[in-house]
Amino acid sequence: MRANSPSRVHELSPEEQSVYRQLDPAKIPQHVAIIMDGNGRWAGKRMLKRFLGHQQGAESVQFVVETASRIDLPWLTLYAFSLENNLRRPKSEVSFLMKLLRNYLTGNVQRMNDNNVRMAYIGRTHELPTEVQDTMQWASEATAKNTGTTLTLALNYGSRSEIVDSTRALLTSLIEEAHRRGCSLEDLLQVDGLESRVDEHHLSGGLYTAHMPDPDLVIRTSGEQRISNFLLWQIAYSEIFITDRLWPDFRGLHLLEAIANYQRRERRFGGLGDAFTDEDLSNLEPAEEVAAEIKDHLTAGPVLTRP
């Protein structure tokens, strides 16, 4: 629990409290990102129109957000509307989703404030309709003083486009600096060194999420086992939890269950992990011996020709 932040765990439902008691509060993820999927299938299973699935999905958002705020989850990012959605969905559906977004924001800002939730957005939001942008800005400003969970909606978002935008921003910055210093970009990079000017730090600093920690946990609903162009850079070492539950049926209880699953895992970040002991390390073969053993296997054999 963050300093000076009163506990709200008592506001969880009895079912949620039962799961929460199994958690280590000190190991609550800093950042959970969710790929919300299954609105259309949820509606189809019930012989309903797709827009009713989207409406029910919006209800699920608020249930999950309130549970996140009660356990003091610092960052929650929801994949709400992808760049591909904007380009490939029927215009009527896109129009409805934009209207639903505006209604969600205007109808839930008070609940956000009651739950100490701050609104934020990532994506090419400048391409959204002006009236949608205005509502987004209003909701952001209305919740800006809240100090609890930051709810970030990924809107008109695509991770590849985000990386492209970061690269463009970096190049633009370098060109402008070269002009200020009265030299060419090539001269600037030769003097300072390309490695010192273009690295992971500089690229990540230009991402939409530069002010946020990378997600510890990514949740995907509806059983699909793909990332769908979501936070590709940021989730390099994230744990992934996939559930068959469709998003309109997803609740705060299921968020807690995913966190419980996350806490049972060992995160190694490319290392050996806590379970790997000094004794195990001493028993590892020296690198030179391993290299000698596989040398013959790495040497190309005779080229086979097609008869």
Cα(228)–Cα(81) distance, integer angstroms: 11
Which one is predicted more confidently, 90 or 203? 203
Radius of gyration of the chain measured on its C-alpha atoms: 24
pLDDT in the model for residue 278: 58
Residue with tokens 């806590």: 274
In the prediction, which pLDDT does 85 show?
77
Residue-level pLDDT at 19: 97
Residue 231: its pLDDT value, please? 98
What six digits make up the tokens of 234? 């940021």
The torsion defined by the Cα of 91, 93, 99 and 105, in degrees rounded to 10, comes to -120
pLDDT-derived band at 111 (thresholds 50, 70, 90) equals very high
Picking from 2, 90, 25, 94, the residue whose alpha carbon sits closest to that of residue 263 is 25
What's the confidence (pLDDT) of residue 218?
98
Whether residue 197 is predicted with pLDDT greater than 60 in this model: the reply is yes
- pLDDT tens digits for range 255-281: 999 999 999 998 776 666 665 555 665
Q: Could you give the 3-state DSSP secondary structure of residue 157?
A: strand
Residue 30: DSSP 8-state: S
The predicted pLDDT at position 189 comes to 86
Confidence of residue 84 (pLDDT cuts 50, 70, 90): confident
Q: What is the pLDDT of residue 188?
A: 86
The span from the CA of 58 to the CA of 34, in Å, is 13
> Which residues contact residue 33 at a Cβ distance below 8 angstroms, ignoring those fewer than 6 apart?
76, 77, 78, 79, 215, 217, 218, 219, 230, 231, 234, 235, 238
Tens digit of pLDDT for each residue in 46-69? Answer: 999 999 999 999 999 999 999 999
User: Greater confidence, 151 or 196?
Assistant: 151
Residue 232 above 60 pLDDT?
yes
CB 76 within 8 A of CB 150: yes
Active site residues: 37, 85
Full-model pTM: 0.84
Per cent of the chain over pLDDT 90 is 73
Is residue 57 within 8 A of residue 39, CB to CB? The reply is yes
Under the banding of pLDDT at 50, 70 and 90, the label for residue 303 is low
Burial pattern 166-197, b for ≥16 Cβ within 10 A else e, equals beeebeeebeeebeeeeeeeeebbeeeeeeeb
Are 112 and 143 spatial neighbours (Cβ–Cβ below 8 Å)?
Answer: yes
Q: Measure Cα distances from 293 to 9, 286, 299 in Å.
A: 56, 11, 12
Confidence band, pLDDT 50/70/90 cuts, at residue 285: low
What's the full length of the chain, in residues?
307
**Taking a C-beta distance cutoff of 8 angstroms, is the pair 224, 241 a contact?**
no
Residue type, 159: S
Among 253, 213, 260, smallest CA distance to 237 is for 213
Average pLDDT, the chain: 89
Mean pLDDT of the region 281-289: 64
